[in-house]
Amino acid sequence: MGEIRTGRFKRRRRDFEDDLAEQSNVQFHEEVDTSSTEQKEPLKAELDDPTELRLGNRIRLENDVPRANFEDLRRISRQEYLSKREERQVLLLQAELQDFEWEIEQIGWDRLTTKEQQEYKFKKEIFSTIQERWEIEQDMETHYMLPDDYFTEDGKIDKKRKQDTLHSKYNDTAVVDWEADQMRKAVKADTRVPEKEYEFVFDSSQAVEFVSDPVDVERERLEELIAEEEERIKTIDETRKSLPVYQYRDELIKAVQEHQVLIVVGETGSGKTTQLPQYLHEAGFTKDGKKIGCTQPRRVAAMSVATRVADEIGTAVGDKVGYTIRFEDRTSERTILKYMTDGMLLREFLTDPELLSYSAIMIDEAHERTLSTDVLLGLLKDIVAYRPDFKLLISSATMNAQKFSDFFDGAPIFNIPGRRYPVDIFYTSQPEANCLHAAITTVFQIHLQQDPGDILVFLTGQDEIESMADNLAETCLKLGDQIPELVICPIYANLPSDQQRLIFEPTPEGARKVVLATNIAETSLTIDGIVYVVDTGFVKENVFNPSTGMESLEVKPCSKASADQRAGRAGRLGPGKCYRLYTKWAYLNELAANPTPEILRSSLASVVLLLLSLGITDLLNFDFIDKPAPDTLIKALELIYALGGLNENGELTKVGRRMAEFPTEPMMAKTLLTSSELHCCQAVLSVVAMLQEAGSIFYRPRERKEQADKARQQFVQTLGGDHLTLLDVWTKFVENGHSVQWCRDNYVQYKSLLRVRSIREQLERMCERMGLLDNETDLEHDRLVVGVMKSVVAGFFVNAAQLSKTGDAYRTMKKNQAVWIHPSSVLFGLKPPPKLLIYNELVLTSKEFMRTCIPVHEKWLREYAPHYYSDK
DNA sequence: GAGCACTGC
């Protein structure tokens, strides 16, 4: 019986092949008649014209293979970018599978021979792998991120090159490579099989032979792989069930069904972030075509959580599970679980103010109280009120749960225990006068007296980290062989990434690693192997003063929540110890419970503009979980009004709506909008993008200050101030092909310039869409400089300062406040000093400094801000 | 002649 079946398979198969061959011929002839004579041309024409291909396939297949699944074939055919060759093989494979299925229907699965069953499974597996890959590739077409070098010299996207690259893999050889690669992976461990033989799957003539081949190494391998995959799925399932959150699954689902808002308190390791959205999905919250969204305060978190959940569900990232972060959208119309940064959800309000595409939202890590989370909470409270079908989950640490519950009118709090190892906490018996010194001593005490395990020290900033590193190194050098080796690893956000990577290197045998970190190690990154934490108990916090518009970075005692978070870093993989360099009394009585929420210490210009554009005008009564000072809101409104974003009636103007669209501060947006009128949008785009990273462009290591300063000199544009100096850095970076080496040679931070490029790209796309690039003309250098300066004036006139009569300081135009040029500015110490300048930001350190300045003419202020400076 | 904690759009 088996023989007969095989025979028929072969026959049917051949028929099918003939059909396909005939069809290609028809296509070929048609093309010869109309156009080129080259053999390759018709295929190319086919690829260019998807309708041609679709039509051709459908007609032939419908007529001749009545049992074929036409919907699927059509869908496959629609993938017009696939090469003819690959497609043909797949169609053959599918036809074979259909024959099999027909057979199974007739006689039943159990009556197939083992070999036939295996063959069917094997082919099915391959077929679904291909389908999966196509789907992924289709995604790539839409969401493909441009690699570094797909830009033409003038900074535009090199479309041809991009397309070439996207399609290059469909060249004949590339396809073979992919196949070979897939198969090579499948038979990785076995070298006995010559490579040629396992190309059979896509080579019809050999495939038949293979089927009847009694010694079948590859298939065994593949089955092993399938078994492994099954095992993996089982393991995933077991892991999911072993999470603390699992035993509350049904209760949680019930709670969500009964209450619209639920506060979930889940400690680290409870599995809430990955599991809760899945539970909602399993409970049917995605049935009506709506999504479940989950926000994260950080980009990496959104990416990695989405990846893990996709793995658990068994889909590709971007399919059922996806994520959206700035510069990268890995979602599709099939996505039902969407992870994203909180800022991204906030932006979504601009296009979908009622979040109608979501049935539920989970705000994760709400206790961190980022600016975006706080604004979201206010907006979501509204949605909850007028969309009874909408569910909201707030996940928080224990400390803030009650506050969230109160904010949402007594929403129930659901507790999920975490899974963490115990951490012994030690306090000093009396306050330490010099905490840096105390930290060094503590490190050596641990090093000499305690069991193996790495140490993590929390310090306030780069300065402290560097001097402690020096001190530790010096002491180690003095002690020499008397103590075991101590590996010192500094880590802070501004450290170049190659040096950052050092903290992840495994500690050598017999040595101990000591990581000196800012609070980057509190939430943003986790380091394995940490057993001891030394906590100095301080943080640097940025505070914004609305009345002066001045920022200052202040060293403050950290909060209890931070201290606990820091201690927790010792108990990730096993029991740990935390040494706090302050007294228990201080912990209990002097530390605030939580850090000051960002919304209470930032400029709110962007937030206010966003709320205005959502139609929320009564800002003073907007339901913030912590209301910002009215003064801060009023200052923001005044600024938006001065920029022309609001009219006398308090309504948003066209300019205001456009400014709101830009993912920048309103002043930056206004600068961009004006640059279009001055025909210099491209240059201003570069300046604005550079300004976002202005603080971290130049790299100035302590030991090579002179070289770094010298390298910086080549960019200095005294007359154009810091803005045009930054523009020059950008231009040269582009001229040098975005080279890492060039950055190293010139003491410029590559990482920052990469970010600048992404930002610039995004802003350029927006400018293009708004038609701001239509006015662009080639300006000669001097006129370009004036254009840039005037654009800056139009956006930043509020930040004008003029030289005081004595000539030693500046006075802000509006408030007559004494300010100084920051020593890092190219205008610092210039003779004669510019009479009038505009600063990008005002910072209070040892003095009131203007950071990033540009000299301007007084008449430009009259031209662009007559309403603001009318009396002068 | 100073000193930039950390995120995010």
Can you list the positions of beta strands (E) in A525-638?
Answer: 530-535, 538-545, 550-557, 576-580
In whole angstroms, give the CA distance from residue A735 to residue A754: 14
Place of tokens 């919907």: A71
| A846 Cβ within 7 A of any nucleic strand B atom | yes
The shares of helix, strand and coil residues in chain A, as percent rounded to the nearest 5, are: 55, 15, 30
Partnered with residue A579 across adjacent β-strands are A426, A534
- The residue type of A483 is I
CB atoms within 10 A of CB A205: 8
Q: Among A811, A816, A819, which Cα is nearest to A850's?
A: A819
A467 burial (CB, 10 Å; 0-12 / 13-18 / 19+) is middle
- The residue type of A655 is V
In whole angstroms, give the CA distance from residue A675 to residue A627: 36
Cβ(A849)–Cβ(A822) under 8 Å?
Answer: yes
Residues in A 300-339 whose C-beta is less than 7 A from nucleic strand B are 300, 325-326
In whole angstroms, give the CA distance from residue A601 to residue A595: 11
CB atoms within 10 A of CB A628: 22
Residues 6+ apart with CB under 8 A from A818: A804, A809, A810, A811, A848
Residues in A 685-724 whose C-beta is less than 7 A from nucleic strand B are 692, 695-696, 700, 705, 709
A698: nt with nearest C1' to CA: B4
- The residue type of A674 is T
Q: Among A443, A475, A435, A441, which Cα is nearest to A459's?
A: A435
A491: nt with nearest C1' to CA: B5
Partnered with residue A842 across adjacent β-strands are A550, A850
In whole angstroms, give the CA distance from residue A517 to residue A540: 13
Q: Three-state DSSP class for A423?
A: strand
pLDDT at A86: 53
Supply the angle between the helices A750-769 and A721-735 in degrees, to the nearest 10. 100
- The residue type of A130 is I
* Terminal C-alpha separation, chain A: 102
Residues in A 196-255 whose C-beta is less than 7 A from nucleic strand B are none
pLDDT at A326: 92
In whole angstroms, give the CA distance from residue A697 to residue A690: 8
Q: Among A68, A67, A54, which Cα is nearest to A23's?
A: A54
**DSSP secondary structure, A173-212, as one string:** HHHHHHHHHHHHHHTTT--SS-GGGGGGGG-HHHHHHHHT
Q: Among A294, A295, A121, A119, which Cα is nearest to A208's?
A: A119
Protein CA A59 to sugar C1' B6 (Å): 61
CB atoms within 10 A of CB A716: 14
Can you list the positions of beta strands (E) in A771-817?
Answer: 800-803, 810-812
| A463 Cβ within 7 A of any nucleic strand B atom | yes
A607: nt with nearest C1' to CA: B9
Cβ(A597)–Cβ(A561) under 8 Å?
Answer: no
Which helix or strand (DSSP H or E) is residue A300 part of?
helix A299-313
Can you list the positions of beta strands (E) in A703-786?
Answer: none
In whole angstroms, give the CA distance from residue A811 to residue A818: 5
* Structure tokens belonging to residue A268: 């680290």
Protein CA A687 to sugar C1' B2 (Å): 24
Q: Among A154, A113, A608, which Cα is nearest to A371's?
A: A608
A1 burial (CB, 10 Å; 0-12 / 13-18 / 19+) is exposed
DSSP code at position A505:
S
Cβ(A688)–Cβ(A672) under 8 Å?
Answer: yes
C-alpha pair distances (Å), A226 with each of A192, A229, A232, A234, A434: 21, 5, 10, 12, 61
Residues 6+ apart with CB under 8 A from A650: A617
Residue nearest to nucleotide B2 (CA to C1'): A823
Cβ(A285)–Cβ(A358) under 8 Å?
Answer: no
Residue nearest to nucleotide B8 (CA to C1'): A343
Place of tokens 């050596």: A444
Which helix or strand (DSSP H or E) is residue A437 part of?
helix A435-449
- The residue type of A761 is E
In whole angstroms, give the CA distance from residue A71 to residue A473: 69
Question: Taking CA A481 as the corner, what is the angle to CA A426 and CA A488, rounded to the nearest 5 degrees?
Answer: 50
In whole angstroms, give the CA distance from residue A76 to residue A855: 61
* Structure tokens belonging to residue A174: 């590339």
Residue nearest to nucleotide B9 (CA to C1'): A663
Residues in A 601-640 whose C-beta is less than 7 A from nucleic strand B are 606
Partnered with residue A512 across adjacent β-strands are A486
In whole angstroms, give the CA distance from residue A293 to residue A339: 6
- The residue type of A440 is I
* Biggest alpha carbon–alpha carbon distance for chain A: 107
Residue nearest to nucleotide B6 (CA to C1'): A520
Partnered with residue A839 across adjacent β-strands are A853
A849: nt with nearest C1' to CA: B2
Residues in A 91-110 whose C-beta is less than 7 A from nucleic strand B are none
Cβ burial A385-400 (10 Å sphere, 16+ → b, else e): eebeebbbbbbbbeeb
Protein CA A523 to sugar C1' B6 (Å): 9
Q: Among A844, A845, A869, which Cα is nearest to A859's?
A: A869
**DSSP secondary structure, A667-691, as one string:** HHHHHHHHHHHTT-HHHHHHHHHHH
Supply the angle between the helices A2-34 and A84-107 in degrees, to the nearest 10. 150
pLDDT at A104: 67
Cβ(A382)–Cβ(A353) under 8 Å?
Answer: no
Protein CA A459 to sugar C1' B5 (Å): 10
Phi-psi region of A291 (alpha: psi -120 to 50; beta: other; left: phi over 0): beta
A351 burial (CB, 10 Å; 0-12 / 13-18 / 19+) is exposed
Residues 6+ apart with CB under 8 A from A736: A742
* Structure tokens belonging to residue A36: 């080129």
A695: nt with nearest C1' to CA: B4
C-alpha pair distances (Å), A380 with each of A384, A443, A604, A861: 6, 46, 19, 41
DSSP code at position A151:
B
Q: What is the mean pLDDT of each run of 10 residues along chain A (872 residues)?
A: 35 38 32 32 37 31 35 43 46 63 66 68 68 53 37 48 39 31 33 31 34 54 74 76 84 93 86 90 90 93 92 91 93 94 93 93 93 95 93 89 93 86 90 86 92 93 90 90 90 86 87 92 86 93 88 90 91 89 91 91 93 92 93 92 92 94 94 94 96 90 85 89 94 94 91 93 94 89 93 95 88 91 91 92 91 93 87 56
Residue nearest to nucleotide B3 (CA to C1'): A463
A623 burial (CB, 10 Å; 0-12 / 13-18 / 19+) is exposed
